[in-house]
């Protein structure tokens, strides 16, 4: 009886537990609330289990998120209500959990949000509940394969840049890049029109790049910026500062220059005297009436008066001392072929020395009637008028046109027009000096014939016997302008004057000598007849011969005086020179045209110094 009673008592105690399958045991500090009376209590006969409810191996891209989950159940797979703790174990590279603990839901699941950081990382996320074996999630965060790049530009130059093109190039040294022949860009941003704009590159593969910016002025590449070793990281925005620098204009090659120099105040006195010689043929400057500035018919007008002066000298030698002939005394008293003194006094007042005909000087002063103004007319005034009419009948307005002809010679030097050749070697490339050679080649003058018709003549300076026409030195650039340093030439004006007179002016008129030109103007046969009619004792043939001799003597005198200037060799120094490159430019900002060229210079001839200025243009060959 005793054994049977013990068994029944034990059964009575255990039966309620075994029959109540829905009763959950409670135990302190394990429940889902603050009331420990509701916390499940350990039941050694039905232990709890914490298990992973999501993949335990997690691969996650940087900055992205995923959800981790575990489930808490008992031995009968009954969901348990409780708080599960979450923690990152190891270096998460900036990865974060949304919470350090989460409560299981009605199905026993506890979940947490994991957000990956910006760095690659391998770590664990541990879920734990009291003394249960923790659940570990192995997490591998990998970087995204793309990033973003923003370009900020700056420009301190003065060019009106209108277009900016930013590009990503393979990483290399910026110094090795040619802005005009860049390698193929890996990415190129849309062009922008303002330097303050910020070109952007999206979805840039991670890596290291060169950021290059090409800026244009119209259609010309004018500025360039380059920054190397730019690293683009995954899922990050990289900002790079790119300063833009002006690309230099390069002056390289041979340029034909057209130079115009104003030497009005710079001609040496010796040369100015040479020009004056020719003016004597027409200017009448010594025969003007001082009161009204007009020519005085009494003394004759050039060129007839000039020529007749030499004719008269053949048979009437005045102002000569005893033992002199005209060729010696004329250098003092008639150096410019002027006969004002002769006309201002009576021919009869002169005491001729070694005359051919002692009475001829007085005969020239014989009155033969009344002139156009009512004043008495003399042989010399009448003869001058006849010669003047002959010359004017030959070519209308010959006096004015003759003046223009010899003015051409003066203008050829006061407005000196020279064509030259300048060769430069990479001047301005990398903002460094380069060599230049400047060679004076030809001279251009405008010539009017005796009819007033203008033509342009060009001749080689070397043909005129001028030497020392080249100079070699170093040139630089500044603000896109070519800077030509001081250089000089020995410009022999006397040789040029003689050459121009004989080979250009006379040739333009169809003559080979000055004497031949004078003899074509005056019909000496008629002159000899006129003189014979007025001075009977002088045979016409003799007077004709004197006339021809006088004209030839006048021509020889003019050429002789010009020839005296042959030694005029002034130093022609260009002290400064500058010019700009005309648009459009050639490849790699090569100057094809030279514009706005400016010269300053000085001419030195012994003690004489005269400043001058000039302009020029150029065209690359």
Q: Which residues of 16-40 are buried (b: 16+ CB within 10 A; e: fewer)?
A: eeeeeeeeeebeeebbeeeeeeebb
Distances (CA, A) of 65 to 1, 68, 95, 279, 498: 71, 10, 9, 103, 98
Residue of 264, 259, 270, 279 whose CA lies nearest to 495? 270
Residue of 120, 112, 239, 250 whose CA lies nearest to 179? 250
376 phi/psi in degrees, rounded to 5: -60, 145
Question: Residue 105, SS3?
Answer: coil
Dist. CA 439–CA 257, nearest whole Å:
10
- The DSSP symbol for 350 reads -
Residue 7: pLDDT above 80? no
Q: Which residues of 57-77 are buried (b: 16+ CB within 10 A; e: fewer)?
A: ebebebbeebebbbbbbbeee
pLDDT digits (tens, 9 = 90+) for 389-412: 887 776 655 555 666 767 787 788
Return the residue matching tokens 């005269």. Answer: 610
Q: How high is the pLDDT of residue 291?
A: 42
Provide mean pLDDT across the span 173-188: 93
pLDDT digits (tens, 9 = 90+) for 512-547: 888 998 898 889 999 889 888 887 777 899 889 888
pTM exceeds 0.85 for this model: no
506: left (phi over 0), alpha (psi -120 to 50) or beta: alpha
Residue 245: pLDDT above 80? yes
Residue of 510, 500, 482 whose CA lies nearest to 576? 482
Q: At what angle do helices 540-563 and 514-521 cross, to 10 degrees?
A: 140
Q: How high is the pLDDT of residue 125?
A: 97
Partnered with residue 85 across adjacent β-strands are 101, 128
Read off the tokens for 27: 């135990």
Q: How high is the pLDDT of residue 13?
A: 35
In sign, the C-alpha dihedral spanning 488, 493, 499, 505 is positive
> Which element (helix H / strand E) includes 364?
helix 360-364
Q: How high is the pLDDT of residue 348?
A: 45
Dist. CA 204–CA 189, nearest whole Å:
11
Q: Centre a 10 Å sphere on the Cβ of residue 550 and count the other Cβ atoms it contains.
A: 25
Residue 576 vs residue 367, higher pLDDT: 576
Most confident of 211-220, 312-321, 354-363: 211-220
Q: How high is the pLDDT of residue 338?
A: 42
Specify the pairing of strand 135-142 against strand 57-61: parallel
Q: How high is the pLDDT of residue 475?
A: 96
Strand locations in 330-378, DSSP E?
Answer: 367-370, 376-378
Q: How high is the pLDDT of residue 24?
A: 39
Provide mean pLDDT across the span 53-70: 93
Residue 376 vs residue 290, higher pLDDT: 376
36 contacts 28 by C-beta, under 8 angstroms:
yes
Average pLDDT value over all residues in the chain: 81
347 contacts 362 by C-beta, under 8 angstroms:
yes
Residue 382 vs residue 205, higher pLDDT: 205
Q: How high is the pLDDT of residue 561?
A: 76
pLDDT digits (tens, 9 = 90+) for 108-149: 999 999 999 878 899 999 999 999 999 999 999 987 788 899
**Percent of the chain beyond pLDDT 70?**
75
Q: Which residues of 263-301 are buried (b: 16+ CB within 10 A; e: fewer)?
A: beebbbebbeebbebbbbbbbbebbeeeeeeebbbbbbb
Q: How high is the pLDDT of residue 17?
A: 37
Partnered with residue 610 across adjacent β-strands are 603
| Alpha helix positions (H), 471-539 | 493-499, 506-509, 514-521, 524-534
Residue 352: pLDDT above 60? no
Read off the tokens for 449: 């014939």
Dist. CA 492–CA 572, nearest whole Å:
9
Residue 252: pLDDT above 70? yes
pLDDT digits (tens, 9 = 90+) for 269-316: 767 666 666 666 665 544 434 444 444 444 556 777 778 777 776 665
102 contacts 112 by C-beta, under 8 angstroms:
yes
Question: Residue 72, SS3?
Answer: strand
Dist. CA 59–CA 91, nearest whole Å:
15
Q: How high is the pLDDT of residue 251?
A: 96
Residue 476 class from Cβ within 10 Å (0-12 exposed, 13-18 middle, 19+ buried)?
middle
pLDDT digits (tens, 9 = 90+) for 567-596: 667 889 999 999 999 989 999 999 999 999
Read off the tokens for 9: 């008592």
Residue 219 vs residue 257, higher pLDDT: 257
267 contacts 493 by C-beta, under 8 angstroms:
yes
Own/partner contacts of 389-393, CB < 8 Å, gap of 24 or more, are 390/521, 390/522, 390/523, 390/526, 391/303, 391/304, 391/521, 391/522
Q: What count of Cα atoms within 13 Å lies in the side-chain half-sphere of residue 230?
A: 27
* Rounded (10°) CA dihedral 409, 413, 415, 416: 120
- Reported confidence tier of residue 217, pLDDT bands at 50, 70, 90: very high
Q: At what angle do helices 524-534 and 379-394 cross, to 10 degrees?
A: 160
Most confident of 11-20, 290-299, 359-368, 432-441: 432-441
Residue of 363, 380, 369, 384 whose CA lies nearest to 536? 363
97 contacts 125 by C-beta, under 8 angstroms:
yes
Residue 605 vs residue 190, higher pLDDT: 190
Residue 520 class from Cβ within 10 Å (0-12 exposed, 13-18 middle, 19+ buried)?
middle
- Choose the weakest-confidence range: 35-44, 224-233, 427-436, 581-590: 35-44
Evaluate the omega torsion of the peptide bond into residue 205 and state whether it is cis, within 30 degrees of 0: no
Q: Centre a 10 Å sphere on the Cβ of residue 46 and count the other Cβ atoms it contains.
A: 12
Provide mean pLDDT across the span 198-226: 94
Q: How high is the pLDDT of residue 536?
A: 79
């Amino acid at each position: 009886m005793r054994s049977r009673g013990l068994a029944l008592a034990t059964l009575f105690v255990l039966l309620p537990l075994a029959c109540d399958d829905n009763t959950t045991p409670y135990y302190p500090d394990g429940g889902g609330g603050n009331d420990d009376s509701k916390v499940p209590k350990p039941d050694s006969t039905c232990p709890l289990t914490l298990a992973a409810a999501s993949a335990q191996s997690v691969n996650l891209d940087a900055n992205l998120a995923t959800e981790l989950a575990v489930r808490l159940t008992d031995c009968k797979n009954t969901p348990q209500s409780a708080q599960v703790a979450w923690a990152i174990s190891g270096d998460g590279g900036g990865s974060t959990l949304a919470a350090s603990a989460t409560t299981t839901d009605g199905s026993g699941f506890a979940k947490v949000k994991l957000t990956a950081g910006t760095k690659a990382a391998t770590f664990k996320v541990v879920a734990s509940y009291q003394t249960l074996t923790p659940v570990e999630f192995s997490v591998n965060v990998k970087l995204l394969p793309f990033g973003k790049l923003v370009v900020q530009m700056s420009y301190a130059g003065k060019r009106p840049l209108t277009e900016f093109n930013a590009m990503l190039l393979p990483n290399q040294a910026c110094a090795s890049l040619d802005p005009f022949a860049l390698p193929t860009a890996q990415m190129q941003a849309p062009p922008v029109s303002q330097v303050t704009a910020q070109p952007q590159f999206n979805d840039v593969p991670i890596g290291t790049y060169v950021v290059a910016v090409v800026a244009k002025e119209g259609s010309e590449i004018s500025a360039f910026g380059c920054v190397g070793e730019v690293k683009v990281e995954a899922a990050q925005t990289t900002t790079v500062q790119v300063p833009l620098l002006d690309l230099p204009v390069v002056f390289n090659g041979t340029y034909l220059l057209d130079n115009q120099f104003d030497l009005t105040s710079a001609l040496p006195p010796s040369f100015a005297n040479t020009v004056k010689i020719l003016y004597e043929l027409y200017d009448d400057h010594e025969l003007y009436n001082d009161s009204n500035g007009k020519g005085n018919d009494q003394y004759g007008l050039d060129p007839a008066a000039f020529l007749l002066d030499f004719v008269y000298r053949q048979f009437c030698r005045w102002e000569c001392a005893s033992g002199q002939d005209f060729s010696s005394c004329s250098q003092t008293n008639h150096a410019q072929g002027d006969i004002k003194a002769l006309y201002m006094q009576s021919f009869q007042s002169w005491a001729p020395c070694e005359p051919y005909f002692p009475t001829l000087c007085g005969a020239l002063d014989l009155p033969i009637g009344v002139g156009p103004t009512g004043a008495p007319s003399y042989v010399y005034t009448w003869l001058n008028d006849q010669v003047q009419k002959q010359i004017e009948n030959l070519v209308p307005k010959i006096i004015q046109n003759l003046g223009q002809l010899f003015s051409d010679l003066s203008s050829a030097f006061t407005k000196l027009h020279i064509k030259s050749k300048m060769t430069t070697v990479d001047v301005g490339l990398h903002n460094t000096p380069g060599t230049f050679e400047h060679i004076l080649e030809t001279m251009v003058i405008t010539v009017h014939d005796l009819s007033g018709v203008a033509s342009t003549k060009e001749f080689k300076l070397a043909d005129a016997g001028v030497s020392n026409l080249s100079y070699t030195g170093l040139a630089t650039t500044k603000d896109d302008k070519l800077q030509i340093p001081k250089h000089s030439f020995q410009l022999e004006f006397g040789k040029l004057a003689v050459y121009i007179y004989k080979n250009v002016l006379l040739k333009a008129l169809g003559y080979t000598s000055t004497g031949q030109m004078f003899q074509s103007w005056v019909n000496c046969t008629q002159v000899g007849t006129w003189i014979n009619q007025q001075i009977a004792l002088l045979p016409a043939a003799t007077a004709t011969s004197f006339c021809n001799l006088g004209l030839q003597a006048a021509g020889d005198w003019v050429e002789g005086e010009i020839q005296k200037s042959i030694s005029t060799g002034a130093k022609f120094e260009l002290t400064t020179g500058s010019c700009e490159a005309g648009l459009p430019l050639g490849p790699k900002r090569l100057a094809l045209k030279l514009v706005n060229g400016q010269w300053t210079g000085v001419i030195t001839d012994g003690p004489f110094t005269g400043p001058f200025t000039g302009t020029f243009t150029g065209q690359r060959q």
